[in-house]
Amino acid sequence: MNIKYTHLRFEFRLLLLIALIFSFSVVQGITDSSDVEALQELYSSLNSSSQLSRWTSIGGDPCEESWLGITCQGSSIVSIDVSDNRIHESIPYQLPPNLIKLNIANNNFSGNLPYSIASLVSLNYLNTSSNSLGQSIGDIFANLTDLLTMDLSHNNFTGYLPTSFASLSNLLVLHVQNNQLSGSLNVLEGLPLADLNVANNNFSGSIPHKISSISNFIYDRNSFDESPAPPPPRPLGRHHHTSSGSLTSWGSDGQSCNSVKGNKNRLTVGPIVAIILGSLVVVVLAAVVLFAGVREKKRNDNTIKHSFGNIPRIQMKVNNEGHEQRVKPTPTTLNLTSLSTENLLSHKMQGNNGSVNVVKSPVTATSYNIGSLQGATNSFSQEKLVGEGSLGRVYRGQFHNGKVMAIKKIENAALSLQDEDNFLEAISHMSRLRHPNIVPLTGYCTEHGQRLLVHDYIANGSLQDMLYLSDDRIKVLTWNVRIKLALGIARALEYLHEVCLPSVVHRNLKSANILLDQELNPYLSDCGLAALLPNTERQVSSAKMVGSFGYSAPEFALSGIYTVKSDIYSFGVLMLELLTGRKPLDSSRVRAEQSLVRWATPQLHDLDALAKMVDPTLNGLYAAKSLLQLAEIISLCVQPEPEFRPSAPEVVQALVQLSQRASVQKRRSSEE
C-alpha cells in the first residue's frame, strides 16, 4: 500500500515537473504581445496573404511559428523582410518597436513613410527601394542614430532631404537614386558615408568637398554645378623641407610663396636668448589670463545653466475686448539633451559680457521678387483669387515655366512681426515643416514692405468645399475615405505636436484649412502661421486669431489659453463634421441643433441615435462597429477638460486600427 502510494506520488511529481517545464518553454517562446499586434495589423492592411506563409491576422505566434520573413530575439521581433512580395498597399503605421532590420523592397507600396519609424531607435537597416512611395521623405530620423544602411531608391520621393538626416551619425550607406528629390546635399556633409548614390534626381548647387571625397559616390544626371566645392585652403605658414634643405612656406593655393635657404639666415646666440626669455614672459601671461578665463567661464556656465533650466512657455490669452495678450509664463523644464543643434538656434544664448545674442536660423525657402509674383497672379487679380485665410487672401499663381503655386498675400495690419528679421525667422521655421499631410512652404517675398508666402498648390479644393458645396460628395466621400481623411490630419497633428521641437500648435484647425488632392489625400494648411498672429491689442477678431467659432476649445473661450490639447478638441469637431456632414455652427437649424458639439455629444454612445446622426449621403454604407469606434474617438477628443483628451499619437493609433479593420471588412465583402 505504502509502495503504491509512494509510486503514485512520484508519478504525480514527475508529471507536475514536465508540465512546469513545458509551460515555461511555451511562455519563453511566445512573441511579445505588442509585436504580435503590430504584425497582425500589418498583415490585415496588406493584400498578399498568399505570399506571406503562416501569417495570420487573428492569433498565431510569429516567433514560435516561424512566420515568413520574421526574425526574433527572445520574445521580440527584430527583423521584418517582406521584400519581393507584390504588396500594393500603404505601409502600416504600427511596426514592432524593437526592429533592427526592415526590408520592404521590390513591392508596390504607395503613400509615404509612416512616422512611427521615428520611434524605431534600434534600427540599423532600412530598405524601401523599388516601390511607389511618394511625397516628401519626412523629417523622422532624429533618433535613428544606430542606422547604418538606408536605401530609399527607385521611388517617387520629392522635396529636400530632411534636416534630421544630419543626426544619422553612423550612416555608412545611403541610396536615394531615381527619385525626384531636389535642393542641396549639405545636410549629408557631416556623416561618415562610404557609399552614396544620389543619381537621377533634381539636386542642385555645389557638391561639398567632404561628400565629393566619398569613396563610392554616384551623382550623375542631376543639376549640380560643374565641379565639387573647392577643398578648404591650407593654413598659411605650414612649412615643408625641400630637397635642397630650404624651408618652403605654402600659400592657400598650394603654390610656393617664398623660399629661404637654410644656410643663409641662421640665428645668432643673442637673438636666441631673447626669444627664450620672451617666450617665458608670454607663457606666464597666458597662464594668468587662462586662470581668469576659467573663473569667468564657471560664472557664465552657471548663468547659462540657470537660464536654460527653466525657459518659460509663453501662453496667450484674450482680454475682454477679444484681443490677444500674454499670460504670465509658466515655468517648464527644458531637456537640453533632447534639443538638436537646429532647435537650439531658436533660443537666446547669454554671452560673456551679459548681453543676449539671438542666433538666427537660415531661411531655406526660396526668395521671390514681387514682380514675378505679380506676373504669376495677373497683379493679384480677382479671377486668380482662390480663398481668404486668417492673415490674408490666397491667389493661384502660374509662373512662366508652367508651375502653379498658391500665393498668400498677408495684410500687414494683421501681422505681429513687422520687423523683417523676425518675419524671416518665422518663415525659416515654417519652411522646415515637412510632412506628407502638410502643405509645404516653398517661398516668400519681403520686397517693398510686402509679406507674401508661396505654397504648393493643392488642386482639389478644401474639405469644407467638398462637404458643403460639391455635387460629388455622395459618391466621393465614402465611409473609408472619411476615415482616411481623419487619419491623415491626425498624423499631421502628431508631427506638429510630437516630432517638432518645440511643439507647434496649429491654432486654426478647421475644414477650410484641409486641402485635398485628386486622390483625396488631405493636406493641413496654415501650419506655423500662429507665430505671425498678433500678440498685442490689434483690431483683429478672435475668430481670425484662433480658429473659427465652433472649433475653439472651451478653455480658450474661458481663459484664452491655447495648447496642443486645444488642437485635439478642434480635430474632434472636424471628425464630427465628417461623421454628420453638418457645420460646427449652423444658424439655419433649430436652436438645439445649431452647435454641432452640444447637439452631438450626448448621442455619441447610443447606436440608434448615432445612426440618425450619420451623414445621410452615406446611405448606411458603413459597419455599425466602425461607427461606434469613431464615435468613441470623437467623444474623447471633445472632452471639456483638456487633461482628459488623448494625445495626437493616441488618436493616430486608434484611427489606424479603425482604418485597418475597415479595409479588412471591405476586402472580405469583396471576396464573398
637: Cβ contacts below 8 Å, ≥ 6 apart? 568, 569, 571, 572, 575, 645, 646, 651
Asked whether the whole model's pTM tops 0.85, one would answer no
Is the predicted pLDDT of residue 178 greater than 70, yes or no? yes
Cα–Cα distance between 175 and 404 in angstroms, integer? 30
Task: Give exposure, 538-570, as e/b (b: 16+ Cβ within 10 Å).
Answer: eebebeebbbbebbbbebbeeebbbbbbbbbbb
Residue 438 carries which DSSP code? B
Tell me what pLDDT residue 288 has: 54
How would residue 280 be classed by pLDDT, with cut points 50, 70 and 90?
Answer: low
Looking at the predicted structure, is the pLDDT value of residue 610 above 60?
yes
Cell numbers linked to 195? 557609399
Give percent of the chain with pLDDT exceeding 90. Answer: 37
Nearest to 625 by CA among 662, 655, 654: 662
b/e per residue 446-474 (b: at least 16 CB within 10 A): eeeeebbbbbbbbebbbbbbbbeebeeee
Residues in the chain: 672
Q: Residues of 403-426 as b/e, b for ≥16 C-beta within 10 angstroms?
A: eebbbbbbeeebbbbeeeebbbbb
Report the range of poorest mean pLDDT among 242-246, 277-281, 566-570. 242-246
Average pLDDT, the chain: 74
Q: What is the mean pLDDT of residues 312-337?
A: 33
219-240, pLDDT tens digit by residue?
999 988 855 555 554 443 334 4
pLDDT score, position 391? 76
Instruction: Read off the C-alpha cell for 456.
Output: 504648393
DSSP state of 245: S
Q: Is 193 helix (H, G, I), strand (E, B) or coil?
A: coil
β-bridge pairing 101-103 and 125-127: parallel
Per DSSP, what are the bridge partners of residue 103?
Answer: 81, 127
Q: How far apart are the first and last CA of the chain?
A: 65
Helix 624-637 / helix 648-671 crossing angle, nearest 10 deg: 170
**In angstroms, how far is CA 258 from the centroid of its own chain?**
55
Report pLDDT for 633.
Answer: 96
Contact 510, 450 (CB under 8 A): no
For 337-387, the pLDDT digits (tens) are 333 333 333 333 333 333 333 435 567 788 999 999 999 999 999 999 998
pLDDT of residue 53: 63
The DSSP code sequence of 539-557 is: S--HHHHS--TTTS-HHHH
Span 568-584, average pLDDT: 96
Least confident of 64-68, 210-214, 395-399, 417-421: 417-421
Give the H or E element holding residue 513.
Answer: none
Among 462, 370, 434, 363, CA closest to 407: 370
pLDDT single digits (tens) 525-570: 989 887 776 543 333 334 344 445 789 999 987 888 889 999 999 9
Q: Is 645 within 8 Å of 636 (Cβ atoms)?
A: yes
The pLDDT assigned to 95 comes to 82
Instruction: Show the domains of the chain with their CATH numbers.
Output: 32-224 (3.80.10.10), 356-457 (3.30.200.20), 460-672 (1.10.510.10)
User: What pLDDT is recorded for position 20?
Assistant: 42
pLDDT at 450: 85
Whether the predicted pLDDT of 629 surpasses 60: yes
Say if CB 385 and CB 395 are below 8 A apart.
Answer: yes
